[in-house]
Amino acid sequence: MIAAIASMAGTGISAYGQIQAGKAAREAGKAAQANAAAANRQAADESRERMSRMRAMHQQKMGRLRASGGKSGIDIGSGSFEDLLEESSQRMELSVYDEHYRNTMDMRRRQYKGDLAAWEGRQQQTSQTLRGFGTLLTGTGRAAHQLHLSQMMSSGTA
Give residue-wise pLDDT tens across range 37-79. 999 999 999 999 999 999 999 999 999 888 887 777 777 667 7
Sign for the pseudo-dihedral over CA of 62, 63, 69, 70 = positive
Contact partners, residue 66, CB within 8 Å, separation at least 6: 76, 85
Q: CA distances (Å), 88 to each of 44, 79, 91, 95, in order?
A: 26, 14, 5, 11
Cβ atoms 115, 32 nearer than 8 A: no
pTM for the full predicted model: 0.70
